[in-house]
Amino acid sequence: MTMTDRDDKPAAKLWGGRFSEPTDAFVEAFTASIGFDQRLYDEDITGSIAHARMLARVGVITEDEAKKIVRGLEDIRGDIERGDLAWSVELEDVHMNIEARLIDRIGDVGKKLHTGRSRNDQVATDIRLFMRRAVDAIIEEANRLRRGLVDLAEAEAETVMPGFTHLQVAQPVSFGHHLLAWHDMLERDVERLIDTRKRINIMPLGSAALAGTSYPLDRDWVANELGFDGISENSLDAVSDRDFQIEFLSAASILMMHLSRMSEELVLWTSAQFNFIELPDRFCTGSSIMPQKKNPDVPELVRGKTGRVYGSLFSLLTLMKSQPLAYNKDNQEDKEPVFDAVDTLMGSLRAFADMIPAIEPNRERMREAARQGFSTATDLADYLVRRGVAFRDAHEIVGKAVRHATEQGCDLADLPLVELQAISGHIEKDVFDVLTVDGSMAARDLPGGTAPKRVRARAVAARAALDASKIV
């Protein structure tokens, strides 16, 4: 038998013994998954090699037969990687394509490979192997981005910028502190992915179609050979559920949400109205009509791509919500959303990991913005409290001071001492130590605060944690 494209003679079905007529041509194309699941070829071959070796270990096939199967599978892997295998729609999926090519290459011995397994537990194993590798790669890229944020945060610990609530100037903060807020979001994202990986890394192979198998398979040996942490304990659940994919997509959606929040701020900060940062030209594009434009396309696109990952999550939630046990053809639809989410997330992380270290802050513009909007008003209230004024009374006094400064068209720090003392007799000349943006920022000297020395300490700790993770 030879592998064919659709225009050639149809390939024989490996399951066709029960059927009296060929599959309708449209149905054949409609139900085939080879157009996308060929991406699992490496995982499929890796799992099949372990399965064949185990069959020989337990005496179901001979050692010689196992060696022929393994050599054949390795040759097929080489064919695929060289682009020498013509995928056949008639053979439906990656599993049947590879098995048919194996039989074509080594003869009837190849027909023994599928002993003791089903495509149901085979595909469940393949997708877990794929997702385990994908999660590891995503974690590595997320940690590369985290490291870039830590390095930039440490360098910009003294840089003042306005902190916002409701997108209104609130209090002065360190630019480094703001970057470390992004880092901490990603740190939790990585923790979620690490936890998700534990549930991904359970082997379903040996569950067969739904009930297990009568062959004396050594599932634990195969699991160890493939690097799984353990084996599934219920064959019905193992072949049919996809909650580990849904959990991954949930973690991926949260991560993309964080990247989207970062994107929104980067877009704002690069605007002429903010002008807080400059992105390198290689991460931006221009306008076809307006020559002055420099558009922050990378963060804008990442912000937009977030919806793709959300869509993948809802696709799988909907896919699984009404399925009875055990496997159903519905589950063929689980792969494309996962593949798309993995690719989208990896691309977004890579773009950010390359772009973030190259950000150039406009420090003077940030400082100027931090002085606007009475950002040190809370510091004045705290000053009064330390001088024995009840906080609510201090709040009212500062409100009056802000109103007076507004009428004068200046900042609180620009008001003469005599005018401040006319509002409250508790104010002395040392008040100007807290009314500056630097003084305000330095005063937040507690764990988790924005004082520059706390920012530097947090950066050092975060870098040490990344070093200890041995991921990047």
Task: Indicate which residues carry an active-site annotation.
Answer: 166, 287
Q: Helices 377-386 and 391-408 sit at what angle, rounded to 10 degrees?
A: 140
* Amino acid at residue number 136: D
Closest CA to 463 of 39, 105, 64, 154: 154
How far is Cα 228 from Cα 121, in angstroms, rounded to an integer? 14
Q: Phi and psi of 326, rounded to 5°?
A: -110, -110
Closest CA to 147 of 192, 195, 190, 197: 190
Residue-wise DSSP of 421-452: HHH-TT--GGGHHHHSHHHHHHH--STT---H
How far is Cα 244 from Cα 241, in angstroms, rounded to an integer? 8
Enumerate residues 6+ apart whose C-beta is below 8 A from 17.
none
- What is the rounded radius of gyration, in angstroms, for the C-alpha atoms of the chain? 31
Contacts 24+ apart (CB under 8 A), 405-414: 405/374, 411/371, 411/372, 411/374, 411/376, 412/374, 412/376, 412/377, 412/380, 413/371, 413/376
How far is Cα 138 from Cα 143, in angstroms, rounded to an integer? 8
- Using the Cα atoms of residue 330, residue 331, residue 332 and residue 336 in order, give the sign of their dihedral: positive
Do residues 296 and 270 touch, judged by C-beta distance below 8 A? Answer: yes
- Lookup: tokens for 237: 């659940």
3-class secondary structure, 98 = helix
Element spanning 93, H or E: none
